[in-house]
């Protein structure tokens, strides 16, 4: 009897009542989590470690993860090539006022990329929320057909629709924008701000986003659609009894209820547009300030823009340390955004308890 009790006790201790409540189940779960974490973290940690290696450390077989001396010279050189920070900041210690004023004339590629991608991500979030709300709450003709078209836009490979998009934008440029620019804006103060061609600006990406054809817009629409369907229809009815219009119902009720989803969708849209190298190489020229485009041209422009090694002088030649430093700098704004929005995102998820009827 005692042996049976001991056996049952050990079985409960090892396996528990549920699959993951015992020691064996927890060991398997934690082993899987550690393995998956290693797969994701190893390339990132290796990239950060390599970005600090000097040229001597790169050829030293004894140096693998930890450099012999901590140096930020690779990041200084990578910043020169990418043009992230305004050039005027280099003279900040000597002339701080002139350095700050110089930002307005040349803000640097980092600020311009954050501004341009931020506007596109904001527009994409608004369009996706309105589209998802319309599909979730309204009945109209051919609703299933248009919803199928949204799904189809995600299934169709992007290269298949690239040529029609480019031809459409070329048509707008040659028939509408360029004649208007030459007849109306040429010689005005806008002549130095705007450009006569659309492919040198963010207009192609902005136009596609405005019509729901941004990067992975179908996924964002489906996210809003699913969460709007979860909200009880009784809230709509109560608001309309009080005299609220459709616009008021959307902005004052739904937007507040799905705030965590809005933050999530905005982050997704920002990251996807930030990393969209395919569209960047098609719609923009090599002078565009987008970081992803500057990173793709890093190797070809390195010798012309790298300069000398900070604090040492001498010729700089491209190596893996400079590549890793440039890659990490291009990813750093995304990390900061996630860290800044993580707490609000988690708090919003915890406060969300709406379920459908």
Q: How many domains does the chain have?
A: 2
Q: What is the end-to-end Cα distance of the chain in Å, rounded?
A: 53
In a domain, 67, yes or no: no
Q: Is 42 found in the same domain as 175?
A: no
pLDDT tens by residue, 121-160? 999 999 999 999 899 888 888 888 998 988 888 888 888 8
pLDDT tens by residue, 331-346? 989 888 888 887 766 6
Strand partners, 315: 308
Question: What dihedral angle (degrees, nearest 10) is formed by the CA atoms of 221, 227, 228, 232?
Answer: 170
In a domain, 274, yes or no: yes
Question: What dihedral angle (degrees, nearest 10) is formed by the CA atoms of 134, 139, 143, 147?
Answer: 40
* Distance, CA of 326 to CA of 329 (rounded, Å): 5
Q: Is 14 found in the same domain as 118?
A: no
pLDDT attached to residue 308? 66
Non-local (6+) Cβ contacts of 180 within 8 A are none
Q: Is 200 found in the same domain as 118?
A: yes
Q: Is 47 found in the same domain as 125?
A: no
Q: Is 184 found in the same domain as 42?
A: no
Residue 63 backbone phi and psi in degrees, to 5: -100, 120
Which residue in the block uniquely carries the two structure tokens 């390195």? 302
In a domain, 65, yes or no: no
Among 21-35, 99-113, 200-214, the least confident range: 99-113
Token duo for residue 158: 């992007």
Rounded to an integer, what is the distance from CA 213 to the centroid of its chain? 16
Asked if the model's pLDDT at residue 349 lies above 60, the reply is: no
pLDDT tens by residue, 152-171? 888 888 888 888 888 888 88
Strand partners, 308: 315
Cβ–Cβ < 8 Å for 280, 162: no
pLDDT attached to residue 124? 94
* Distance, CA of 120 to CA of 201 (rounded, Å): 12
Instruction: Report DSSP letters for 135-187, one per residue.
Output: HHH---TTHHHHHHHHHHHHHS-HHHHHHHHHHHHHHHIIIIIHHHIIIIITT
In a domain, 349, yes or no: no
Looking at 267, 296, 325, the residue that finishes a domain is 296
**Domain coverage including residue 144:** 107-296
CATH code of the domain in which 198 resides: 1.10.3720.10
């Amino acid at each position: 009897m005692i042996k049976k009790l001991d056996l049952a006790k050990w079985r409960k201790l090892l396996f528990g009542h549920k699959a993951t409540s015992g020691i064996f189940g927890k060991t398997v779960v934690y082993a899987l989590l550690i393995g998956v974490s290693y797969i994701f973290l190893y390339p990132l940690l290796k990239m950060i470690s390599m970005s600090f290696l000097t040229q001597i450390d790169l050829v030293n077989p004894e140096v693998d993860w930890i450099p012999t001396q901590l140096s930020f010279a690779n990041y200084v050189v990578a910043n020169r090539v990418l043009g992230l920070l305004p050039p005027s900041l280099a003279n900040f210690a000597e002339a701080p006022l002139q350095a700050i004023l110089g930002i307005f004339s040349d803000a640097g590629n980092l600020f311009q990329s954050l501004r341009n991608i931020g506007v596109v991500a904001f527009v994409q979030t608004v369009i996706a929320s309105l589209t998802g709300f319309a599909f979730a709450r309204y009945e109209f003709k051919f609703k299933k057909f248009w919803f199928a078209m949204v799904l189809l836009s995600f299934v169709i490979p992007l290269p298949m629709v690239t040529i029609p998009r480019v031809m459409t934008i070329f048509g707008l440029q040659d028939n509408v924008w360029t004649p208007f620019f030459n007849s109306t804006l040429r010689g005005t103060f806008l002549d130095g701000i705007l450009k006569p061609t659309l492919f040198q600006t963010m207009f192609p990406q902005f136009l596609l986003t405005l019509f729901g054809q941004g990067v992975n817009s179908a996924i964002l629409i489906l996210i809003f659609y699913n969460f709007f369907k979860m909200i009880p229809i009784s809230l709509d009815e109560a608001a309309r009894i009080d005299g609220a219009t459709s616009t008021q119902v959307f902005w004052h009720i739904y937007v507040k209820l799905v705030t965590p989803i809005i933050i999530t969708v905005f982050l997704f849209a920002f990251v996807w547009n930030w990393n969209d190298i395919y569209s960047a190489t098609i719609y923009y020229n090599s002078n565009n300030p987008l970081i992803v485009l500057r990173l793709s041209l890093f190797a070809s422009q390195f010798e012309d823009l790298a300069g000398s090694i900070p604090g040492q002088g001498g010729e700089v030649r491209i190596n893996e340390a400079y590549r890793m430093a440039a890659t990490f700098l291009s990813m750093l704004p995304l990390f900061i955004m996630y860290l800044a929005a993580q707490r609000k995102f988690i708090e919003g998820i915890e406060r969300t308890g709406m379920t459908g009827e």
